[in-house]
Amino acid sequence: MIDTQIFLRAAMNRKSLPAKIIFDLRHAYQLIVSDAIVLEVQNVLNRPELQAKFPQLTEGVVDQVIELLEAAEIVNPAEVQAVARDPKDDMFLACAKASSAHYLVSEDKDLLVLNPYGDVQIVNALDFLRVLQDTKS
C-alpha cells in the first residue's frame, strides 16, 4: 500500500525516490488500494492549485498514476475505525488491515508512529526501496 503523498511526490518529480517506487519498480510489488484511496489520489493530483504551482504535474503524469491505481488490487474494508491522529489516514490503515498488505509506504509522521500496525509494517520510501532491493537479491 502507498499513501497519497507518495503518489503526489512521484508525480511531481519523476527523478524522486517515490517515482522510482511508483513507476520504475511497479512490478516488484502488488499495489493494494481501496475505492476511497483511489478517489483521494485522483482528487489531490487534479487540484488546480497544485497543477498551477507544479507544472510538471501534467495530465499525462496524472493519467499514468491513475492507470496504476486502476490496475491495483482493490480492497474495500467494511469498517474504518478511528486510529490515526489524522482521521484522513484511517482509510489507509483500514485497507491495510482488510488486505494482505505487508507494507504501507508513507512519509506521514502520523502514520509512521503507528509502525507496526498489526502485521503491516509502516515504512518510508527509502526503507521500502531497501525492502524491494533485498527481495531482488
Type of residue found at 94: A
pLDDT band at 74 (very low <50, low <70, confident <90, very high): very high
117 alpha carbon, distance to own chain's centre: 16
Residue whose entry in the numeric block shows the C-alpha cell 498551477? 52
Q: Is the dihedral of CA 30, 135, 129, 26 positive or negative?
A: negative
> Rounded mean pLDDT of 78-102?
90
The CATH number of residue 83's host domain is 3.40.50
Reported as a single tens digit per residue, the pLDDT across 27-46 is 999 999 999 999 999 999 99
pLDDT band at 8 (very low <50, low <70, confident <90, very high): very high
Q: Name every residue whose Cβ is closer than 8 Å to that of residue 116 and which is 6 or more positions away in sequence.
A: 122
If one counts the domains in the chain, the total is: 1
Model confidence pTM above 0.85: yes
CB atoms within 10 A of CB 76: 13
pLDDT for residue 109: 96
Q: Using an 8 Å Cβ cutoff, are 93 and 84 in contact?
A: yes
Q: Name every residue whose Cβ is closer than 8 Å to that of residue 66 and which is 6 or more positions away in sequence.
A: 41, 42, 45
pLDDT band at 137 (very low <50, low <70, confident <90, very high): low
Q: Which domain holds residue 124?
A: 4-136
Residue 60: what are its φ and ψ, rounded to 5°? -65, -40
pLDDT band at 13 (very low <50, low <70, confident <90, very high): very high
Over 80: is that where the pLDDT of 60 sits? yes
pLDDT for residue 82: 85
